Amino acid sequence: MDIKIVTTTAFTDQEPGTSGLRKKVTIFQQQNYLENFVQSIFDSLDDFQGQTLVVGGDGRYYNKTAIQTIIKMAVANGFGQILVGQNGLLSTPALSAIIRKYQAFGGIVLSASHNPGGLQGDFGIKYNISNGGPAPEKVTDAIYEHSQNITEYKTVATDSIDLSQIGKTKIRDTLVEIIDPVADYAELMEELFDFSAIKQLFNSGFKMCFDAMHAITGPYAKTILEQKLGAVTGTVINGIPLEDFGGGHPDPNLTHAHELVDIMYGKNSPQFGAASDGDGDRNMVLGQGFFVTPSDSLAVLAANATLVPGYKDGLAGIARSMPTSEAADHVADALKIDCYETPTGWKFFGNLLDANLATLCGEESFGTGSSHVREKDGLWAVLFWLNILAVHKKSVEDIVREHWTKYGRNVYSRHDYEGVDSKAANALMENLYHTFSHLKGKKFGKYLVEYCDDFGYIDPVDRSISQNQGMRIGFQDGSRIVFRLSGTGTEGATLRVYLESFEPDTTKHHLDAQKELADLIKLADEIADIKKYTDRDKPSVIT
C-alpha cells in the first residue's frame, strides 16, 4: 500500500480559537479542508514516528467521515498505533484519560462541543498533547502557520475501517485498534470516588435526572450511573448520541437544557439534576428548584474535596479562568492554598496541573475538572457532587447556602449577545479599550472604579505570555464587569458580559441574581454602549 502525496491549496481561515478549529459542517466538507488542517497538525509535531495517536469525537454529523480521513492520514504520516473509540465515539475527558493511560503521543478530538450539530450545524477539530490536554498556544499558532503555507498532504488508499467492531487491524505498519469508549474512563472514576457510598445513596431512594442531551455522555452516564452505581433505569434522559443532538443545542445551561430545568423546577422533582454538553466536558448541576452557578460549584467542590477519596489528601491549589467568579478564591484563602487566575480556555490550566500547582480547575462556562485528566470533565463533576451528597446527606440547596454563609456569596451572571455583527462587536471592544484611561477613579453611583485593563497572563511555569484576554473593570467593593468576545462561535461575533458582586450579608443570600446585579447590568451598558453597538435591547442567553 503506497503513500499518496496529494497536492492541495491553503485555506486562509484555519486559525484555532478558544478550543480548536470550529466551522460550519459545510466549510469542513470543502475538498481538502479537513485534510489540510490534519496535515498541518502533523507538520507541527516532532518525533511521533511509531507513536500512538488517540482519535474520537462526540458523534456529531461528519464525525465518522472525518475519522476515516484522519486514520488514513495518520497511517501515511507514520504513527505506529491509532486508538479509536468504537463507532468513532470518545468524550473529550475520556480521550484525555486514554492519552494519559496509554502514554500516547497525542490525540485528535472531533467536536464543536456545545455548538449545534447536523448538516446545517457546526463541526470542529482539536489536537491534544501527550499530557492529555489541549495543545497550548505555541502549538496552535504553529498549526495555523502551517495551514497557511500547506501545499500537499499524505494519505493512503485503503478501504474504510469498520469502526463498529472492537479489535485490531494492521494498515501498512500501523496498528489500528478500535476500543471501548467507556471502560477506561469508568475505571478512572471508580478510583477517584466512593462508589459504595454513592450506591448506598441511590439504594436509599435518592433520585437524580441526568440529561445527556443526545450527545456523547449518554453511554458514559448509563454505564456509570445506572449500571455501576445502581441509579434506577431512566435516570439518564436523552441518552442516545444523535448526529444532530435531536435538533437540540447541547449546551447544559438554563436556556438550552430546558427539559431538565422543567423537571427540576417541577412537582416531585428528583433531589439532584445534571446535564452535560456535546463532547461531555461541561456540566450543569441543579438541586430541587435550585441552580448552582458553575463558579459556586467549583468553590463547593474545593471546600469539600477531602471528603472524596481521590482528593482526601487535600488540594495543591485551585485555578479558575479570569471571568469565573472569585468564590473559589475565598475557599483557597481559607485552605491557605494558591488560587490562579488564567485566561479563558482549558489549555491554560495544563501547565499548572502538570507542575502540581493546582488540583482543581474551573470556568464559569459550566466547566470543572481536576488533575485526573487535562480537560474539563462533566460526568466527573456530577460524581463529585454525588459523593459529597452521599457524605453530607443534605440537599444541594442546603450545601450551597451553608457554603455562602461561611464564605459569602459571589452573586454572578453572564450575559451573551450572540450572532452580533463582527465589525460592531470589534468596535465595541475598541471603544471600551479607549475609555479605560479616563475610567479609573470614576464614580458611578455607589461604584468606584478601582482598576480597568485588558487582561494579560504570564504562565507561571513556562513564562509564556497571552495578551488581550478580556477587558476587566473592577470596583472598590469587589464587584467586577468583564467583557470578552467568544472564540468558539462560527457565525458573526458573540459578546460575553460577565457580572459579579460580593454579598457577605446572609439575609440577602436568597435574592435573585439578576435583581441583585441590576445596577451593574445597567452600568455595563452605560460604559460599553452595548445596546448601541449590538443593536439589541437584551442578551440572547443569560446564565
Q: Which residues pair with 453 in a beta bridge?
A: 472
Task: Tell whether residue 282 is a contact of ligand VG1 (CB under 6 A).
Answer: yes
Q: In the Cβ-directed half-sphere of 146, how many Cα atoms lie within 13 Å?
A: 20
Which among 265, 202, 204 has a CA at the least distance from the CA of 235?
202
The minimum distance between CB 487 and ligand VG1, in angstroms, equals 3
Q: One of 40, 44, 111, 113 is an active-site residue; which one?
A: 113
Residue 217 CB, shortest distance to Co ion, in Å, is: 10
With contacts defined by CB under 6 A, name the span among 32-40, 53-61, 305-313, 363-371 that binds ligand VG1.
Answer: 363-371
In contact, 401 and 160? CB cutoff 8 Å: no
Indicate which of Co ion, ligand VG1, none lies near residue 344 (CB less than 5 to 8 Å, by partner kind): ligand VG1
Q: How far apart are CA 271 and CA 258, in angstroms?
A: 17
> Is 325 noted as a catalytic residue in this protein?
no
Nearer to Co ion, 77 or 370 (CB): 370
Judged by CB under 6 A, does residue 486 bind ligand VG1? yes
Q: How far is the CB of 53 from ligand VG1 (least distance, A)?
A: 20
Tell me which residue has cell 486514554. Answer: 98
Q: Is 363 in the site for ligand VG1 (CB under 6 A)?
A: yes
- Print the binding letters for residues 319-348 with ligand VG1: x by CB under 6 A, - otherwise: --x----------------------xxx--
Cell triple for 192: 477517584
Residue number, 113 or 387, with CB nearest to Co ion:
113
Q: How many CA atoms lie within 13 A of 70 on its CB side?
A: 30
CB of 366 to ligand VG1, least distance (A): 8
Give, as ranges, the residues between 303 and 322 that touch ligand VG1 (CB under 6 A): 321
Backbone angles phi, psi at 348, to 5 degrees: -80, -10
> How many whole angstroms separate alpha carbon 222 and alpha carbon 216?
11
Binding range to ligand VG1, per CB under 6 A, among 351-359, 392-400, 441-449, 484-492: 484-492
Residues near ligand VG1 (CB under 6 A), total: 18
Q: Which is nearer to ligand VG1, 325 or 365 (CB)?
A: 365
Grid coordinates standing for 55? 482519535
- Span from 170-178, 256-264, 276-284, 532-540 in contact with ligand VG1 (CB under 6 A): 276-284
- Name the segment binding Co ion (CB under 5 A); options: 36-44, 107-115, 173-181, 419-427: 107-115
Give least dist CB 221 to Co ion, A: 15
By CB under 6 A, tell whether 488 contacts ligand VG1. yes
**Dist CA 340 CA 356 (whole Å):** 12
**Residue from 58, 211, 226, 281 in contact with Co ion (CB under 5 A):** 281
Q: Are 448 and 441 spatial neighbours (Cβ–Cβ below 8 Å)?
A: yes
The DSSP result for 31-98, as a single string, is TTHHHHHHHHHHHT--S-TT-EEEEEE---TTHHHHHHHHHHHHHHTT-SEEEEEEEEE--HHHHHHH
Q: Which residues does 23 contact at the CB level (< 8 Å), separation at least 6?
A: 13, 122, 123, 124, 490
The CA distances from residue 508 to 44, 264, 328, 502, in Å, are 53, 24, 20, 11
Binding site for ligand VG1 (CB under 6 A): 18-19, 113-114, 277, 281-282, 321, 344-346, 363, 365, 367, 486-488, 496
Q: Please list the active-site residues.
A: 113
